Amino acid sequence: MLKSFRLGGIHPPENKISRGAAIEQLPLPESVVIPISQHIGAPAVAIVAKGDSVVVGQLIAKAGGFVSSNIHSSVSGVVTAVGDFVDASGLRRVGVIIKVEGDTWLEGIDRDSSLNKICDLEPKEIVSKIAAMGIVGMGGATFPTQVKLSIPEGKKAVYLIINGVECEPYLTADHRVMLERAEEMVVGISILAKALGVVRTYIGVENNKPDAIAHISKVIAEYPNIDIIPLKVKYPQGGEKQLIDAVVALEVPSGAIPIEVGAVVQNVGTALAIYEAVQKNKPLIERVVTVTGKKLEKPSNLMVRVGTSIDSLITYCGGLPENSGKVIGGGPMMGRAMCNLSAPVTKGTSGVLIMPSEESLRRSSSVCIKCAKCVGVCPMGLEPYLLYKLADLGRLADTEEHKVTDCIECGSCSFTCPASLPLLDMIKLGKNEVMKIIRTRK
């Protein structure tokens, strides 16, 4: 029997329409907008000014703290502004705007595609190189990778778990990376394993990607400490705690992080970025983005420079279809609906999903019939119907008591609710309020 996480879970329609589309390089844009905050944590501090010339891979903003990340230029050209732009949610953010001229790369970046398996660096040097190259978690959470690799005092990393689950419907970027870049990715994984000093490494891949499983199995044949674990298809298996439970059957305690059980989880895209950073000196300046939708002319997986506008991706894939109702950054379960398509692709943009208008509206909600389906599907063992009601009533102490802070916001409850109640909306509001209270206690 295939492994999976034990509590809850759902099976949304997969709709992986772009799974067969090989990764294509998107042509260089005319200009890019590179936000100084593309990660969780403190924004980076810009070190270039209007009028400066920059080349590809040049550091343009320095990490603004321990939990922060360096930002590099993804193009060569001239900085036209360091200032406000409007992001995909319509909010004003700070970014570096660069007019593209040619494609000159920083000296020292190895653009040769030959595979380099040998890494002589010490674990500490690997981590600092990863930090220098601005690597963040590319599964969507964008947590600075060097922070995740810095094991706290007294803890030890035993398992490295590579997340090739891609449980979000529609998205295929990780799938294509596993098919087309597996050799490099696996070297990246072995570098990660070395940096962490782990005993075992597992690559978790859902069984709906048999080609990727077969291919990776061949590639890892020469790596005795790396195993691939095919997983039963179930959402949200890509959630960190769910993946650890699925692969090594360990439950990360409530409120703790994975290292508590000796596990570190990294996404396959991150592993590839780490290979390029450590072996090729290439900072995180481009990533694979799935551009997809049922009505889109050419669903694709594109290699895109960070800072490229979302609408140029859509134009490349045939343009916005008639009757498009919603454009989502990321997958349909946890992605964000966008209102401004001139916003840039960032390090965390795994997909652009265009939904036809008939699928964009929610059903009107009715009363809770206590069917307990939300309780049954919650992967954290919470009671969404109750949290919804408690949050709605403003009973924050009770909301906290019922573990609202454990909610991973996967949306399984809202997905499954036959009364179409906005369960997760209300739970998120309650969780935010509770988090505010918790922060004031410290």
Partner 1 sequence: MSNKFIVSPSPHVFGKDTTSKLMRDVLIALLPAFVVTVVIYGMQALVLTGVAVVSCVLFEYLIQKFLLKGSNTINDYSAILTGVLLAFNLPIGIPIWMVVLGSLVSIGIAKMSFGGLGRNPFNPALVGRVFLLLSFPVQMTMFDAPDMVRDALYGATDAMSGATPLAYVKDALKNGCSVSEIMPNISYQNMLLGIKSGSFGEIGALALILGFVYLLVRKVITWHIPLFIVGSMTLFTGALWFFNPEQYMDPIFHILTGGVLLGAIFMATDYVTSPMSKRGMMIYGVGIGVITILIRVWGAYPEGISFAILIMNAVVPILNKYVKPARFGVSK
Outline where 256-318 has alpha helix (H): 268-280, 310-316
Q: Of 178 and 341, which CB lies nearer to partner 1 in the complex structure?
A: 341
Residue from 333, 343, 345, 404 binding partner 1 (CB under 8 A)? 333
Report how far residue 182's alpha carbon sits from residue 220's, in angstroms, rounded to the nearest whole number: 9
* Residues 194 and 124 sit within 8 Å (Cβ to Cβ): no
Interface mask toward partner 1 for 158-187; x: CB under 8 A: -----------x------------------
> How many residues interact with partner 1 (rule CB under 8 A)?
73
Indicate the burial class of 294 (C-beta count within 10 angstroms; 0-12, 13-18, 19 or more): middle
By CB under 8 A, is residue 324 in contact with partner 1?
yes
Q: How far is CA 179 from CA 26, 78, 411, 422, in A?
A: 19, 36, 29, 38
Q: Of 88 and 177, which CB lies nearer to partner 1 in the complex structure?
A: 88
Residue from 61, 314, 387, 390 binding partner 1 (CB under 8 A)? 314
Report how far residue 317's alpha carbon sits from residue 26's, in angstroms, rounded to the nearest whole number: 10
Q: How far is CA 386 from CA 71, 142, 409, in A?
A: 42, 31, 15
By CB under 8 A, is residue 385 in contact with partner 1?
yes
Residue from 411, 430, 431, 434 binding partner 1 (CB under 8 A)? 411
Q: Of 126 and 313, which CB lies nearer to partner 1 in the complex structure?
A: 313
Q: Among residues 118, 272, 125, which one has the least CA distance to residue 203?
A: 272
By CB under 8 A, is residue 338 in contact with partner 1?
yes
Give the SS3 label for residue 441: helix
By CB under 8 A, is residue 23 in contact with partner 1?
no
Task: Write out the binding residues for partner 1, residues 413-442 only, by CB under 8 A.
Answer: 414-420, 422, 424-425, 428
Segment interacting with partner 1, rule: CB under 8 A, options 60-68, 140-148, 196-204, 247-255: 247-255
By CB under 8 A, is residue 251 in contact with partner 1?
yes
Q: Of 41 and 384, which CB lies nearer to partner 1 in the complex structure?
A: 384
Report how far residue 345's alpha carbon sits from residue 309's, in angstroms, rounded to the nearest whole number: 6
Least CB distance from residue 193 to partner 1, whole Å?
Answer: 25
Report how far residue 204's alpha carbon sits from residue 373's, in angstroms, rounded to the nearest whole number: 27
Interface mask toward partner 1 for 344-383; x: CB under 8 A: ---------x-x-x-xxxxx--xxxxxxxx-xx-xxxxxx
Task: Write out the binding residues for partner 1, residues 253-312 only, by CB under 8 A.
Answer: 253-256, 311
Q: Of 277 and 334, which CB lies nearer to partner 1 in the complex structure?
A: 334
By CB under 8 A, is residue 335 in contact with partner 1?
yes
* Residues 263 and 248 sit within 8 Å (Cβ to Cβ): yes
Residue from 3, 4, 9, 12 binding partner 1 (CB under 8 A)? 12
Residues of the chain by 3-state class (helix, strand, coil), percent to 5:
30, 20, 50
Give the SS3 label for residue 322: coil
